[in-house]
Chain A
Amino acid sequence: MSTGLVVRVLPPALLGARRSALWVERQWVASRRIWLVLVSGAFEPLLYLLAIGVGVGALVGDVTYGGQPVPYASWVAPAMLAASAMNGAVYETTGNVFFRMRYSKVYDGALATPLEPRDLALGELIWALLRGAAYAVSFAVVMAVLGLMESWWSLLLVPAALLIGLAFAGLGLYAVTFMRSWTDLDLVQLVTLPLFLFSATFVPLDDYPAWAEPIVVVTPLYQGVALLRDLSLGSVGPATLGHVAYLVVLGLTGLALAGRRFSRMLVR
């Protein structure tokens, strides 16, 4: 790539990123009034970890992973983190964005300023990731305290959880532009709940019926669960990079499509 092209392409992209930061600042100001709701959001995945990982885990015993027996809690913890990253990103980019787009008119207000629709889409995505990062950090700390990290690769759990956030925030932002009513919004649960329960989250992939395995493998949460598990249980390999690539491509594609849809919806 010639430097000329870089100079020509980069400034608009950077400008856009700087304008998106202004929307993130708006989110920050707005969140000060609901900080309790936000902070307590970190609580939910931890409860699941304790109930399923520790509570039910005591009934399950060990799971074989990479030929080694692993305590169920250690095995299920990265999956809980992955599911929480998905849920956070989807919730933030569907319910909240839907409300702003269809009801509250705040986007219309922002578009009367130098902000462009795609700046809003990117700003929402960045905010979702920031919020997700805060939750991921608190979850990772609890994992460490409970001794559920089996490898030093676990240091990468938080950035990896952000990739899951990126993938689902991108998808969520794209999907939300097609929703017309609160009833449509409930369809989101119809997708996220099965993903949460059936992405090799609670039982290893081998336990699934043979016909279901290839379906599970191509779903985005499975890729995220597998990535986090590789890291926290320390079996990093080429497949790990495959998971990373899958999530990044999905997230960026979703974001690009969402930016176009935001423009079509908001600038008519």
Chain B
Amino acid sequence: MRVAAGRSAAVVEGLWVSYRHTWRATLVSSFLSPLLFLLAIGVGLGARIDSGGPVEGLTYAAFVAPGLLAATCMQVATFEATYPVMAGIKWFGTYRSILATPVGVPDLVAGRVAWIALRLTAVAAVFMVVTIPFGVSSGPLAVLALPAAVLTGLAVAAPIEAWAASRDDEQGFVGLFRFVILPMFLFAGTFFPVSQLPDWLQPVAWITPLWHGTELTRGFMTGAPDPLVPLHLAVLLVLAVAGTLAATVTYRRRLEP
């Protein structure tokens, strides 16, 4: 497959133009929701938790903040990789008209992934800047939490994008959010250490992309990356790349049968 950077950039520009009409709808879920969670649970409930001692050596707010960052990227990316895909393929047919131009399927997929990466960068950057007063990030390595969170989102979004393009309708999306995304958000290390889960459940958490993403992001943000960084990176990169490749296949099957 060949990807032309210029043509992918054109795809990104197209997505940006349509986002300018809908951005307000994403304010709550992308920017406000993680902050409010941090305030209510990280700070509010954290005050009670901290009186019982640190969590994995951190204040509870410092523990939860990177978790929320990674999880928010996952949720935003999942949304971007589901409904807009159905809209492009089926509801509005925009992908077909895009492919009637010199843009090919690999350009389209690459452009979409790049677009999601841009969206996530904005989400992560705002979160990191706004949470500075909470003192939840420390050390120069904290800057790396941003790419880590973005990568987390892509590792989830790319395979989902491939899957979404193969769906006939949006019926499965609710199930995806309810049975895959929400359980990851709640149990893969965002709010409490995975070590608290029952023994049989811990391995399940370990194979989720969000756990790898959360560990990676938390390590950088708190200035103490754990020794498994290469493993986390490898898992997330493989998922993101394999998902993107798979998406070109499912896009082809759907749009160039």
Q: Which residues of A contact B (CB under 8 A)?
A: 34, 36-37, 40-41, 43-44, 47-48, 50-52, 55-56, 58-61, 63, 182-183, 186, 189-190, 193-194, 197-198, 201-203, 207-208
Contact among A34, A40, A56, A183 with B45 in the assembled complex (CB-CB below 8 Å): A56
What CA separation (Å) do A70 and B197 show in the bound complex? 22
Confirm or deny: B93 has a beta carbon within 8 angstroms of a beta carbon on chain A.
Answer: no
- Contact A47 B182, beta carbon cutoff 8 Å: yes
Given contacts A202-B41, A207-B48, contact A58 B192 (CB under 8 A): yes
In whole angstroms, what is the CA distance A63 to B52 when docked?
13
Asked if A182 contacts B179 (CB within 8 A), the reply is: no
**Alpha-carbon gap, A203 to B50, bound state (A):** 14
Q: Are B196 and A58 interface neighbours, CB within 8 A?
A: yes
B-side interface mostly:
helix
On whether the beta carbons of B28 and A47 are closer than 8 Å, the reply is: no
Beta-carbon contact of A183 and B186 below 8 Å: no
B49 sits at the interface (CB 8 A):
yes
Please pick, from A40, A47, A197, the residue contacting B40 in the complex, using a CB distance under 8 A.
A197
> Is the CB–CB distance between A55 and B25 below 8 Å?
no
A60 touches B49 (CB 8 A): yes
Tell me which of B29-37, B84-92, B98-106, B124-132 binds A: B29-37
The winner among B47, B182, B192 for most chain A CB atoms within 10 A is B192
Q: How far is the CA of A55 from the CA of B202 in the complex (A)?
A: 13
Instruction: Give the 4 A-B CB pairs with smallest separation, nearest first.
Output: A51-B186, A197-B40, A55-B192, A189-B28
- Bound CA span A60–B186, Å: 16
Q: What band does the interface of chain B fall in when counting residues whose beta carbon is under 8 Å from A?
A: 20 to 34
Q: Is the CB of B191 within 8 A of A37?
A: no
Q: Is B203 an interface residue (CB 8 A)?
A: no
**Across the interface, do A59 and B24 meet the contact criterion of CB distance under 8 Å?**
no
CB of B197, distance to nearest CB on chain A (Å) = 8
B6 at the interface (CB under 8 A from A): no
Which B residues are CB-close (under 8 A) to A201? 40
- Give chain B's interface residues, CB within 8 Å of chain A: 22, 24-25, 27-29, 32-33, 36-37, 39-41, 44-45, 47-49, 52, 55, 60, 171, 174-175, 178-179, 182-183, 186-187, 191-192, 196-197
Q: Given the complex of chains A and B, what is the CA–CA distance between A197 and B196 in angstroms?
A: 23
In the bound complex, do residue A36 and residue B175 qualify as a contact, i.e. CB atoms below 8 Å apart?
A: yes
CA distance A55 to B189 in the complex (A): 10
Whether B186 contacts A190 by the Cβ 8 Å rule is no
For B174, give its contact among A37, A56, A186 (CB under 8 Å).
Answer: A37
Q: How many A-B residue pairs have CB under 8 A?
A: 92
- Chain A min CB distance to B46 (Å): 9
State whether B49 touches A203 (Cβ < 8 A). Answer: no
In the complex, chain B residues whose CB is within 8 Å of the CB of A193: 28, 32-33, 36
Write the chain B residue with the least CB distance to A48. B186
Q: How far is the CA of A12 from the CA of B24 in the complex (A)?
A: 44
Interfacial chain B residues near A202, Cβ < 8 Å: 40-41, 44-45
14 extra interchain contacts, Cβ-Cβ under 8 A, other than A47-B186, A59-B49? Answer: A37-B171, A37-B175, A40-B174, A41-B178, A51-B187, A56-B192, A60-B45, A61-B48, A63-B48, A189-B33, A193-B36, A194-B36, A198-B40, A207-B44
Our pick among B28, B37, B186 for the contact of A197 (Cβ within 8 Å) is B37
18 CB contacts below 8 A, A to B, read A43-B178, A44-B178, A44-B182, A51-B191, A51-B192, A52-B191, A56-B45, A56-B49, A59-B52, A59-B55, A63-B48, A186-B27, A190-B28, A194-B36, A197-B36, A197-B37, A202-B40, A207-B48
CB distance from B173 to the nearest CB of A (A): 10
Q: Which of B179, B187, B196 contacts A40 (CB 8 A)?
A: B179
Q: How far is the CB of A183 from chain B (nearest CB, A)?
A: 5
Assess the A197–B191 pair: CB atoms within 8 A: no
Instruction: Determine whether the beta carbon of A61 is less than 8 Å from that of B24.
Output: no
A13 to B222, CA, bound (A): 63
Docked pose: A58 CA to B198 CA in angstroms: 13
What distance in Å separates the Cβ of B32 from its nearest Cβ neighbour in chain A? Answer: 7
Q: How far is the CA of A232 from the CA of B183 in the complex (A)?
A: 26
Give the complex CA separation of A60 and B42 in angstroms: 12
A3 to B122, CA, bound (A): 67
Given contacts A43-B178, A186-B24, contact A55 B41 (CB under 8 A): no
Measured CB to CB, the closest approach of chain A to B223, in angstroms, equals 22
Complex contacts, B47 vs chain A, CB 8 Å: 203, 207
- Check B44–A56 contact: CB distance below 8 A: no
Chain B contacts for A52, CB-based, 8 A: 41, 186, 191
- The listed residue with most B CB atoms (<10 A of its CB), out of A56, A207, A208, is A56
Q: Write the nearest CB–CB distance from B224 to chain A, whole angstroms.
A: 20
A233 to B42, CA, bound (A): 25
- How far is B196's CA from A50's CA once the two chains are assembled, in angstroms? 12
Structural contact, A43 and B179, CB atoms closer than 8 A = yes
Chain B proximity of A95: nearest CB distance (Å): 12
